[in-house]
Amino acid sequence: MEIIIKPTQAGAHEEAARILRRQIQQKPASVLGLATGSTPIGVYALLVQMHRRGELDFSRVTTFNLDEYVGLSAEHPGSYRDFMRRHLFSLVNIPPANIHFPDGSAGDVVAHCEDYEAAIARAGGIDLQLLGIGRDGHIGFNEPSSSLASRTRIKTLTPQTLKDNAKSFGSPEQVPHHVITMGVGTIMDARQCLLLATGEAKANVVAGLVEGPITADLPGSILQMHPVCRLVVDEPAAAKLRRADYYRWVYNSKPDWQRV
């Protein structure tokens, strides 16, 4: 796992956007796994700016989103499909046919989850998976105790996650209690993972993710086993990393051909 520590949240967003830009420029037909929530909003804004400057062409990109609430229509303002439409998809030239989401309105959830896995496989697998991490260590909506080999499936959200996501719904009681999410195993199948974490509220979980044991109690810790994973954090999120100075040294000492 490569740890990239930037001085500010804006700097972390810029680093993550540059990594995504390089992926798309090197492989215009990239298959991207995308995340929602407050963490990637700044990254998506930068990608939109790059597109408007002519630096990025999304016309051959295919996307698979990590998760969606069960029971919400695509038009619901709290749905992740609507989130992605507002922050990225309506602002770049990605063909609608290339956009894939878990369907929170699926009648047969089990069959739909199997179909979602099959669709990822038909697309050739995910080239780069963008991730955030919850304060309890979840990636996607794989809450603590999730199987580290899990595939796309329905999950029940924890009270903490309901509280963290309440801003989109008004109160924790109004947040849907169930979601469809890519599994931990699905995420680990991506050729590259890019996890972004910012702010002091993420300092404990970042330290556990990077320097703690691999455990289902902190699902994101499995990323220690991923062959190509970059963790981009700002200084507040890096505050409890014991080897932070070494991570900075490694990043600053990169040969030119490794730099984004």
Residues 90-148 have pLDDT tens digits of: 999 999 999 999 998 899 999 999 999 999 999 999 999 999 999 999 999 999 999 99
Amino acid at 47: L
Provide CB contacts within 8 A for 219, sequence distance 6+.
137, 138, 139, 142, 143, 144, 146, 148, 184
- Active-site residue (options: 51, 87, 112, 138): 138
Position 50 pLDDT exceeds 90: yes
In this structure, how many other beta carbons lie within 10 angstroms of the beta carbon of residue 241? 21
Q: For 208-226, write each residue's pLDDT tens digit.
A: 999 999 999 999 999 999 9
In whole numbers, what is the pLDDT of the chain averaged over residues?
96
Using 50, 70 and 90 to split pLDDT, how confident is the model at 157?
very high
Rounded mean pLDDT of 8-23? 98
Phi and psi torsions of 131, nearest 5°: -135, 150
> Percent of the chain, pLDDT > 70?
100
Residue 117 near residue 125, CB atoms below 8 Å: no
In CATH, which of 3.90.320.10, 3.40.1080.20, 3.90.1150.10, 3.40.50.1360 is domain 2-253?
3.40.50.1360
DSSP designation for 139: B
Residue in 136, 211, 217, 235 annotated catalytic: 136
- The residue annotated as part of the active site, out of 15, 67, 103, 189, is 67
Q: Is 132 exposed, middle or buried (0-12, 13-18, 19+ CB in 10 A)?
A: buried
200 is known as an active-site residue: no
Q: Which residues of 39-50 are buried (b: 16+ CB within 10 A; e: fewer)?
A: bbebbbebbbeb
225, 188 in Cβ contact below 8 A?
Answer: yes
217 is an active site residue: no
Q: Tell me, what amino acid is at 116? A: Y
Q: What is the pTM of this model?
A: 0.95
> Mean pLDDT across the stretch 165-179?
89
Task: Please choose, from the candidates 199, 157, 165, 175, the residue with its C-alpha nearest in 3D space to the C-alpha of residue 42.
Answer: 199
Our answer to whether residue 143 is catalytic in this structure is yes
Distance from C-alpha of 219 to C-alpha of 147, rounded to nearest angstrom: 8
The helix (H) or strand (E) run that includes residue 163 is helix 159-164
The active-site residue, picked from 15, 82, 117, 143, is 143
Q: Is residue 153 predicted with pLDDT exceeding 90?
A: yes
Residue whose C-alpha is closest to residue 237's, from 15, 21, 86, 87 = 15
67-69, strands of its sheet edge to edge: 67-69, 178-181, 153-156
pLDDT surpasses 90 at 199:
yes
* Rg, the chain, Cα only: 17
CA distance 17 to 43: 5
- What band does 260 get if pLDDT is binned at 50, 70 and 90? confident
Q: Is 18 left (phi over 0), alpha (psi -120 to 50) or beta?
A: alpha
Mean pLDDT of 28-32: 98
Is 13 annotated in the active site?
Answer: no
The Cα–Cα gap between 209 and 237 comes to 12
Identify the CA nearest to 134 among candidates 200, 209, 205: 205
